[in-house]
Amino acid sequence: MSLRTTFSNNMPRMPGGWQSWRIKLGCVVVLAVLYGGFVWHMTQQHITPRPVSMDIPVSLVRVPPAPPPPVPPIEIVLPPVPVFPPPDLHLRHG
């Protein structure tokens, strides 16, 4: 069977005008009611038990860390004093 791009003559047509909008609106309303009913059913069912918190005693074994190596003392070294030549100023009179 080949694929057609046009409808055959004996295929029923969708009604036009207000009738078409009523069908589309009806489909949307039916889908919304079905979805709402499903969501309500899933939120209102109490078949599964609620989770219960349990205290499980656990002992943790931790190896104490090795002491860090001693830190050498920090020597404060002052930077050298900057020596700048005196500015060369040429004054103009005039």
Backbone angles phi, psi at 66, to 5 degrees: -70, 145
| Within a domain: 5 | no
Percent of the chain with pLDDT over 70: 77
Q: How many domains does the chain have?
A: 1
Q: What per-residue confidence (pLDDT) applies to 48? A: 63
Whether 37 is in a domain gets the answer: yes
User: Mind listing the pLDDT tens digit for each residue in 32-69?
Assistant: 999 999 988 888 876 666 677 888 888 888 888 999 99
Q: Is residue 60 part of a domain?
A: no
Q: What's the 3-state SS for 71-83?
A: CCCCCCCCCCCCC
pLDDT at 25: 92
Residue 79 confidence (pLDDT): 92
In a domain, 36, yes or no: yes
**Which pLDDT belongs to residue 47?**
64
| List of E strands, 30-76 | none
